[in-house]
Structure 1
Amino acid sequence: MTASLIALGLYFTGYCLLHSLLASRRCKRWCLQHWPALMPAYRGLYNLLAVLLLLPLLWLYLQASGPLLLQWSGWTGWLMNGIAVAALVGFFSTSGDYSMAEFSGSRQWRLRHFGARDPDQQAVLKLGRWHRRVRHPWYFLALVLIWSRPMDAAQLLLSVLATLYFVVGSRLEERKLIAQFGEAYRQYCRQVPGLIPLPGRTISATRAQELEQQANQSDVNGSA
């Protein structure tokens, strides 16, 4: 069991490191410089690799699974299941806050523009309903989902590592966003919490629109 947990932890850590490396501006720019023809497919290939590499993770998880350390029962079980369902509904409701075509890579492939410019300059800042309350809605909802489940040793290990990854990964992601959108994104970070929504730390739809305009205008000027 201990060896299985170590293998699971090491693989998941490597998966997270590779995921962050391939998402970095440096890696994208290196690919743009050496393989510009690949850039329209970069996001799609990135997503495909992420999914394929989950298969060994699933196998390792099944090998390391054991007796439950924590199991919700009675009214707490109903409560945690309700929280998990609410998180899944939240994932569905956030879809309008993201460009799913851009997230999947279909937009990049369709437009074929990455060979001519920095791939990070293709995106625009969009602050939907969820983003007015928390900067990383998907990370928050994922945390709610994983910590509302029963826990065995393997699940607990993955939950802890995933939480650390969301904390570190969100910081790395925001470094890219600040570099891209400048002062507008810095202001947004000061006004809206990162991973956990907090009372009184929200912005209005009007303020969100102002920040979007400032950020996207700055991005256009910066890429001109």
Structure 2
Amino acid sequence: MTRLLALIYALACYALFGCAFLLLIAFQLGIPALPVSKSLSIGPSVAINIALITAFGLTHSIMARDGFKRVWTRIISPTVERATYVLQSSVFLIAIVWFWQPLPTVVWTTDGVIALFIGGLFWAGVAIVLLSTFLLGHLEFVGIAAPLNKLRGVAEPQDVFRTPMLYSVVRHPLQLGLLLVFFALPVMTAGHLLFAGLMTIYMMIGLHFEERALVRRFGETYRTYQSHVPMLIPRLWPTRRRA
């Protein structure tokens, strides 16, 4: 794969990622984004939905492991490894939205000021997700930086531990934003609650392994960070820092 083709491939993966994120927002807001016939009973609907999240979670987790990457980059260029990871995440997320079987029973509904407040939390979650990707390098996150650097003949930057802005409040602000996107809905149906619950379970399992990987990568620096900064829920009061 030439350097230019690698960059074009990464940009195409990025475009699909943008589409997938917009579809997720439409799905959460109940906007009919994809005209799919859905008339199954509760049992098969729940089974299909669980299978969709499981397929997403397994693929997403396996491809993120260092051992898989070592084998995978013998098959594809390391330059497009991250872009390919973004591609599979986007494809599986689109598949979830496309094939998701709705469970329309209303679990809770709000109106007036409360609905506006919850809706505000939802859009705050969207903003936190997007901002989090930029704080540590948006182009690196979406897989464009590596092929772009390769095309320009620029060396890959060193892996430096940083905690800018939101990362000084919680260790994983992107996942905090996703929790708001999952749960901050003025009208919550059983289907959306199932989606939120399954995605949260997967996310917590993924964070467990990610934390272990970060400790291996940054050692005592990350352990100190863990002791001072909560993982997902911001502290309402400051803690005394050790020297």
Q: TM-score band, normalised by the shorter chain?
A: 0.7 to 0.9
Question: Shift of residue 15 of structure 1?
Answer: 0.9
Instruction: Normalising by structure 1, report the TM-score.
Output: 0.79
Q: Give identity over the alignment, percent.
A: 27
Which amino acid counterpart does residue 161 of structure 2 have in structure 1?
A: L
Q: 1:203 to 1:18 in 2, by over 3 A?
A: farther
Contact 1:133/1:197, CA 8 A, preserved across alignment = yes
Question: Shift of residue 106 of structure 1?
Answer: 1.3
Partner of 1:145: 181
Q: 1:123 aligns with which of 155, 159, 180?
A: 159
Instruction: Normalising by structure 2, report the TM-score.
Output: 0.73
Question: Shift of residue 203 of structure 1?
Answer: 9.1
Contact 2:133/2:141, CA 8 A, preserved across alignment = no
Contact 1:133/1:201, CA 8 A, preserved across alignment = no
- The 5 A counterparts of 1:96-111 are 96-111=134-149
State the 4+ residue runs in structure 1 displaced beyond 4 angstroms: 201-204
State the Cα deviation string for residues 175-211 of structure 1 (Å, max 9, x = none).
111111111011101110001111235799xx9xx9x
Q: 1:125 to 1:22 in 2, by over 3 A?
A: same
What is the rounded CA distance, in whole Å, between the counterparts of 1:203 and 1:100 in structure 2? 32
Q: 2:69 aligns with which of 23, 28, 46?
A: 28
Q: 2:94 aligns with which of 52, 55, 66?
A: 55
What is the rounded CA distance, in whole Å, between the counterparts of 1:96 and 1:195 in structure 2? 18
What is the rounded CA distance, in whole Å, between the counterparts of 2:160 and 2:67 in structure 1? 19
What is the rounded CA distance, in whole Å, between the counterparts of 1:122 and 1:50 in structure 2? 25
What is the rounded CA distance, in whole Å, between the counterparts of 2:71 and 2:212 in structure 1? 18
State the Cα deviation string for residues 148-175 of structure 1 (Å, max 9, x = none).
1122121111111111122111111111
Partner of 1:168: 205
Q: Secondary structure of 1:70's match? A: strand
Q: Secondary structure of 2:77's match? A: helix
Partner of 1:76: 114
What is the rounded CA distance, in whole Å, between the counterparts of 1:148 and 1:129 in structure 2? 23
What is the rounded CA distance, in whole Å, between the counterparts of 1:201 and 1:26 in structure 2? 38
Which amino acid counterpart does residue 40 of structure 1 have in structure 2?
A: T
Which amino acid counterpart does residue 207 of structure 2 have in structure 1?
A: S
State the Cα deviation string for residues 26-62 of structure 1 (Å, max 9, x = none).
1111223x33x5211000011011111222211222x
Aligned pairs, how many? Answer: 197
Q: Secondary structure of 1:69's match? A: strand
What is the rounded CA distance, in whole Å, between the counterparts of 2:197 and 2:215 in structure 1? 27
What is the rounded CA distance, in whole Å, between the counterparts of 2:64 and 2:163 in structure 1? 21
Partner of 2:15: none
Structure 1: any 5+ residue segments left out of the alignment?
Answer: 113-118, 211-224
Structure 2: any 5+ residue segments left out of the alignment?
Answer: 1-41, 151-155
Question: Shift of residue 145 of structure 1?
Answer: 2.1
Q: Comparing both structures, which one devotes a greater share of its residues to helix?
A: 1
What is the rounded CA distance, in whole Å, between the counterparts of 2:238 and 2:207 in structure 1? 18
- How much is the aligned-residue C-alpha RMSD, in angstroms? 2.6
Contact 1:4/1:60, CA 8 A, preserved across alignment = no
State the Cα deviation string for residues 79-102 of structure 1 (Å, max 9, x = none).
211222222333344344121111
Which amino acid counterpart does residue 175 of structure 2 have in structure 1?
A: Y
Question: Shift of residue 67 of structure 1?
Answer: 3.2
Q: Secondary structure of 1:151's match? A: strand
- The 5 A counterparts of 1:30-45 are 30-32=71-73, 34-35=74-75, 38-45=77-84
